[in-house]
Structure 1
Amino acid sequence: MNNKLQYVRDDETVDDLQLKGLNLIQKKEGFKFGIDAVLLSDFAYIKNKHKVMDLCTGTGIIPFLIYGKYKPECVYGLEIQEDMVDMAKRSVKLNELEGNVCFINEDLKNIDYLKTLDKFDVVTVNPPYKLNNSGIINPNDKLAIARHEILCNLEDVISAARILLKDNGRLFMIHRPERLADIFILMRKYKIEPKRVKMIHPKVGKAPNIVLVEGQRDGGAYLKWEAPLYVYDEDGKYTKEIDSIYWRS
């Protein structure tokens, strides 16, 4: 690692992803990836011949997890915040994955640009969850941009996925259960048919706080509701399912 520290700045840290020796550069103080990224990368169905695009990629955690787990032909990440993309690109060099994982600094609402890109077998996205109607928010706040629909909303994300996906390509999204009706309505508006849903509960007896959704571009109407996943057991420890997703068992 010592010879690779040239890619890391003083206000940054290198986090070991515990997957194929991969590491990720993140800010010491700032937005960091959590369980959502791990759950989404596990939920996505990806083959090694696939081309994958991750929207709202941030510092690139999902593309690195996807590459480590599935070794697809290539993984792209698209992110509007320039400093995030800079970190992601340095993580590519840190992991020596040039040509395998690539990042683009662009606005997913730039439809003309999206149309210039290749089509993808899979699009993944962990979008901002919160509606941008909860008081005054600093539009330059990096944490706020990651969490609130400031620079893009749910419709922008699904519209972009429609453009980027190949015929019958798959969209994998993680969001909040209270937005599920919006997700279904917008997917059908853009002819991405909901195919699979999985609810994530903090523990047994608690309402779900995360939902995973798979949609298919121009797919037929058939929805599969998967068994729920529980994060913690009665003792407050990660369940066996979560340990497996985190490659600990």
Structure 2
Amino acid sequence: MIEVNPALRPDETLNTFYKGKILVLQRKNGFRFSVDAPLLASFIQTKKEDEILEIGTGCGIIPMLLSLKPSHHIVALEVQQGLADLARRNIMLNHLDGRITVIEKDFRQYNPWHQFDIIFSNPPYLPKDSGYPSQTEEKNIAKHEILCSVEDMLNWSKNWLKVDGSAYFILPESRRAGFELELLKSGLSLKRSRLVFPRENEPPNFFLAECGQAPGGCQVMAPLILCGQDGNDTDEAEAMFSGVDGK
């Protein structure tokens, strides 16, 4: 039995999200979630009977946001001990330990006893030897493909996703072509996609993807624009960041 204490520690901050519906402990100098977490949570479509698995939960933010949508149970995998502990504390803090289970394990070594309706991940954005190294190992592993790659995630998801299930990912738009190539190699196919733009007349910065086992057409959603000309969040972005768009 793992002992979990959700009390705030000196090196942490306590933030609220979804207008106070979710409380989030984060390290001051560790990996901290960004706008991509609510973007992916909003994009994922769930049903009340769904068995869901996340690859790389970090502080547990996306499963907690998904808890406002219908689902049966969420398994959140995290390879880093410190982040797995933080995720457990966040889940206890939000009284979600009956719906979300955190497992400290490399997903490539995880052999569940059943397949999942939904698998999702907000994977490391940068190839292993690209960009500037972060000041902490925790950030490096979260941001760079040091322990795993998108190829690894797609191949694993292919094996553990139900025939009619969906796998969801968010990536920088700059990695879209490479993602689609690895998707084709894995045997999965693109079911739904959406580009995210910081503002009108600016290049997209994120690519949202829903993938499945069965080949077929891809639904290309209308672009999501986060910020209006007035500098404020668009109505859709505001609904997304406040959690009122969840079904």
Q: Do the structures match in fold with TM over 0.5?
A: yes
Q: Distance in 2 between matches of 1:228 and 1:38?
A: 16
Tell me which residue corresponds to 1:96.
Answer: 95
Counterpart amino acid of 2:98?
Answer: G
Tell me which residue corresponds to 2:74.
Answer: 75
Tell me which residue corresponds to 1:105.
Answer: 104
Is the CA contact 2:26–2:59 (under 8 Å) kept in the aligned structure 1? yes
Q: Distance in 2 between matches of 1:166 and 1:134?
A: 34
Of the three residues 148, 153, 156, the one matched with 1:152 is: 148
Is the CA contact 1:55–1:124 (under 8 Å) kept in the aligned structure 2? yes
Q: Distance in 1 between matches of 2:26 and 2:201?
A: 35
- Does residue 207 in structure 1 map to residue 203 in structure 2? yes
Q: Distance in 2 between matches of 1:83 and 1:67?
A: 22
With a CA cutoff of 8 Å and minimum separation of 6, indicate the structure with the bigger relative contact order. Answer: 2
Tell me which residue corresponds to 1:222.
Answer: 217
Tell me which residue corresponds to 1:236.
Answer: 231
Is the CA contact 1:12–1:28 (under 8 Å) kept in the aligned structure 2? yes
Q: Distance in 1 between matches of 2:132 and 2:36?
A: 26
Counterpart amino acid of 2:11?
Answer: D
Counterpart amino acid of 1:53?
Answer: L
Percent identical pairs in the alignment equals 30
- Does residue 87 in structure 1 map to residue 86 in structure 2? yes
Is the CA contact 2:25–2:90 (under 8 Å) kept in the aligned structure 1? yes
Is the CA contact 2:6–2:92 (under 8 Å) kept in the aligned structure 1? no
Instruction: Give me the CA root mean square deviation.
Output: 2.1
Alpha-carbon distance change, 162 to 228 in structure 1, aligned in 2, over 3 angstroms: same
SS in structure 2 at match of 1:160: helix
The equivalences for 1:172-187 within 5 A come to: 172-187=168-183
Q: Distance in 2 between matches of 1:31 and 1:60?
A: 12
More moved, 101-110 vs 183-192: 183-192
CA deviations 1:207-226 (Å, max 9, x no partner) are: 10100011012x12211211
Counterpart amino acid of 1:30?
Answer: G
More moved, 27-36 vs 132-141: 132-141
- What TM-score results when the alignment is normalised by the length of structure 2? 0.90
Structure 2 runs not aligned, ≥5 long: none
- What TM-score results when the alignment is normalised by the length of structure 1? 0.89
CA deviations 1:157-209 (Å, max 9, x no partner) are: 11121222111210110001121122222222222111111000111111101
Q: Distance in 1 between matches of 2:119 and 2:168?
A: 6
CA deviations 1:82-101 (Å, max 9, x no partner) are: 10000111112212222211
Tell me which residue corresponds to 2:115.
Answer: 119
